[in-house]
Structure 1
Amino acid sequence: MILPSEVDVLVIGAGPAGLAAATELARDFNVLVVDREKAAGGIPRHCGHYPFGMREFHRVMKGPDYARALAARAEAAGVRFALGVNVVALHPGPSVTVTSDEGVTTISARRVLIATGVRESSRAQRLIGGTKPGGVVSTGALQGMVYLEHARPFRRPVILGTELVSFSAIMTCAHAGIRPVAMVDSRRATAARWPSCLYPRIKGIPLYLSTKLVSIEGRERVESVIIDGPKGRKRIETDGVIVSGHFRSESTLIVTSHLARDPGTGGPAVDSAGRCSDPTYYAAGNMLHPVETAGWCWSEGRRVGLAIARDLKSGLPAERAPVTVESDALAWVVPQFVSPEQALDRLQLRVNRPVNGRLSVRVDGREVASRRIWTRPDRRITLPMPSVTGQVSIHLEE
């Protein structure tokens, strides 16, 4: 398609959050969704397994079917798509610079929603030593190879990590006839909640906890890995490594823009309406909170889309109060500001170490909510969003 120069709402990212927001907005506004991929649907396109779709379609679906259904629903609502388009810069106005087969184009909008999601940390970001052979991939790359290209990149890999996506990697391997030889994590317990830890045993995959992957060895292809755990160092013969999880916000656009960035999440700092520091920009989905399920992101995108619609029709209150965390065990909180419009209707937190204690929310020093927590990093924690205005702080008593 020929890219328009102006739209009411520009949505960057065609995953569940972006598609849900666009579908709501298209009822009353001219909406364009851009994505660098050639097909809409986001990460679920690569996930050829269950379960997706329960809250969106009230049935269990495989990822690709779910992605197609979300895109079809958006298109039926009147959403226009520009796929194979890269957004390279965000400007006040708002306007964005994009590149495509047509060249470089600037698109102006009344509002912009950023929903670019997350990416897994690479081998280099995890400081894993050894040589640099082929056969080291992320879960996302593996899913693309297996489900989109129908390829089998290895036969006996090691899986690094125990987040939900790590168990998804086991399912992807099973689909392709790949048999992992080990699952390794430096944590003392699996990052995903019980009973996820039973799945590797059911599949006959040894699970090594409190164990570090020290190095990857091989020339042209992976030949072995060295792990270091409670029983000392061990060499495992393998032909591949799946580096899973440790998600990071896909925030390259934010880093190079005028928008404020939250150091904890790595994504944009937003208020409870989903507004960024420039209120003509909004954000939703996993770029705000690495990482949640597709259904969670869809629900959040839908609510933020409704907030954008209210903003365009009658405006939203401008006031906002900052949210602060009062413990070094708390890694981050989303949103970072509370406003009267509460599209993000809960405070969401993560810890950076195992915690057993009591969380409390205070407004101007007065406690308005609390809960006990016994949790580990990478697990969702939520607290009620304060309904009163004032300085919001979150305290942890261990």
Structure 2
Amino acid sequence: MNLNYDVIIIGAGPTGLAAAQTLRRRGIHNIAIIEREEHAGGVPRHCQHPTFGLLAFKRPMKGNKFAQALIKRVGDTQIYTRSTVVSFQPNGILTVSMSDGIVEMHAKRVLVATGVRETPRHPRLVTGLRPQGILTAGALQQFVYLKGKKPCRNPVIVGSELVSFSALWTLKNAGVKAQGMIESGSRILAYKPAVLFAKAMGTPVYLNSKITQIGGLERVEYVVVETAGQSHKIMCDSIIFTGGFVGENTLIRKSHLDFDANTGKPVTDQYGHCSDIHYYAAGNMLHPADMGDQCYQEGLIIGGHIADDILAHHHKLSINNTVRLPVSIGSSIRFSVPACIDLSVMNMDKTDFNIQVKHAITGTVKVMAGDYILYEKHHRCLPTRRILLKGIDLTKIQPDATEIRITVV
């Protein structure tokens, strides 16, 4: 087994596969992809709804077909499945658990593209017993599409994000009708017309609602839902907790890399560089949860930055000392990607900022460098939705600026 690579990519989802594609196109083939699942492809692999492929292939595709097409594009790139990175160390050294045991691998550059995970029951503070029948949308999709099983017959869905409605689609394909969709907010978090799909499926949507009791000892039998102060019982055999995506940043929190204390995501600049120049990060582990095609597009770009980095290093071009300008965010904003700007290499004149808000807010999104306005535009911001601030001119940053600040006012 080769233990030394030009690039090691952690995660074989759309971001990681796209980065490998760009690297190969740029002549870098000594690449390894490490994937903890049995097969490459990431989350799209167990999605059967046709919402993938429009950006990557110019046509709608089911998630599993989309994943297969991306894998095909990386050719004979080495993909280690059922392998897990245990730790990061400085200078691109990784400890990896494989079927043959623990090994140490080294790369000139490492891309962390570990994706996201859904928030399960207990972090949502839903108390009570632990009967069978409580799962996430991802687990539901794997039961139905990968294992050919029907894990429930009359579930309820908690959440109203896009993935919540994809869970409705999955249930429909399994011949199952959801007894209700429960959302704590005053409106669904997906696009409003999605309510029509729930109505067509015969699934009522309960807004301003929460589960206060889960009934059943061995298996879920019912839930008690409180809506606007009034409680009612819904008979069901399963509860599907959907959305509430968070970046898969467990490794980051245990590493030497700088990270945001609230989200656990690594601090990256406009090139995807982490605080250790040997490490990059990209995709939904930074900004959960963008669409698969959006992560694929980002992976293509990050792969280009890594190729530039390696080729510049190979030709021993001069590298300036890194000078990073931090990005601070207002109280209504959950995160910003990038989280800092590298001022030492300014061959990128413009960049986009990907932000997400904590709660629904409508106002002017403003990006300031000192007293200078880099961006100012009216936005209607909803939580769980990406808000892309496009084409921010980095050349306008004044030399005396100490930070970039993003606010919604």
TM over 0.5: yes
Aligned residue pairs: how many? 392
Asked if structure 1 preserves the Cα contact closer than 8 Å seen for 2:208 and 2:228, the reply is: yes
Other-structure match for 2:263: 265
Matches within 5 A, 1:270-289: 270-289=268-287
In structure 2, the residue matched to 1:309 is 307
Q: Distance in 1 between matches of 2:347 and 2:300?
A: 14
C-alpha separation in 1, matches of 2:407 and 2:119: 29
- Counterpart in 2 of 1:61? 61
Question: Unpaired segments of 5 or more residues in structure 1?
Answer: none
Q: Select between 257-266 and 362-371 the one with higher mean Cα deviation.
A: 257-266
Alignment of 1:1-398 (within 5 A): 2=1, 4-27=2-25, 28-29=27-28, 30-75=30-75, 78-230=76-228, 232-314=230-312, 318-325=322-329, 327-339=330-342, 340=346, 345-384=351-390, 385-388=392-395, 389=397, 390=401, 391-397=403-409
The AA in structure 2 aligned to 1:82 is: Y
**Residues 254 and 261 in structure 1, CA contact (< 8 A), matched pair in contact too:** yes
Distance 1:328 1:23 in 2: 38
Question: Which string of whole-angstrom CA distances, capped at 9 and with x for unpartnered residues, describes residues 307-343 of structure 1?
Answer: 0000111156633311111x21112111101233659
The answer to whether the 8 Å contact 2:9/2:111 transfers is yes
The 1:274/1:343 distance shift into structure 2, 3 A limit, reads: farther
Contact preservation (8 Å) 2:131, 2:217: yes
Are the structure 2 counterparts of residues 52 and 341 from structure 1 closer, same or farther at C-alpha, using a change threshold of 3 Å?
A: farther
Corresponding letter in the other structure for 2:195: C
C-alpha distance in structure 1 between counterparts of 2:371 and 2:262, whole Å: 23
State the alpha-carbon separation in 1 of the partners of residues 282 and 357 from structure 2: 21
Q: Where do 5+ consecutive residues of structure 2 fail to align?
A: 314-318
Equivalent position SS for 2:74: helix
CA deviation map 1:219-262 (0-9, x unaligned):
11110011111250111100001000001110111011101112
Q: Is the 8 A contact 1:156 1:181 kept in 2?
A: yes
Q: Is the 8 A contact 2:338 2:353 kept in 1?
A: yes
Separation in structure 1 between the aligned mates of residue 228 and residue 209 of structure 2, nearest angstrom? 7
The C-alpha deviation readout for 1:50-88, integer Å capped at 9, x for no partner, is 12111111221111111111001112xx42111111111
SS of residue paired to 1:222: coil
8 Å Cα contact 1:157/1:179 also seen in 2 = yes
- Note if contact 1:323-1:337 (Cα within 8 Å) is conserved in structure 2: yes
Alpha-carbon separation, structure 1, partners of 2:89 and 2:279: 10
Q: Secondary structure at the match of 1:166?
A: helix
Residue 364 of structure 1 deviates from its aligned partner by 2.1
AA partner of residue 320 (structure 1)? R
Tell me the SS of whatever aligns to 2:232: strand
Secondary structure at 2:261 match in 1: coil
- SS at the partner of 1:130? coil
Three-state SS of the structure 1 residue aligned to 2:246 is strand
CA 1:141–1:39 in structure 2 vs 1: closer, same or farther (change >3 Å)? Answer: same
2: CA distance, partners of 1:343 / 1:254: 29
SS of 1:370's equivalent in the other structure is: strand
Q: Which amino acid aligns with 1:44?
A: P
Query: Cα–Cα, structure 1 residues 373 and 173, in superposed 2: closer, same or farther, change >3 Å?
Result: same
SS state of the match for residue 52, structure 1? coil
TM-score (norm. length: structure 2): 0.93
C-alpha distance in structure 1 between counterparts of 2:371 and 2:216, whole Å: 58
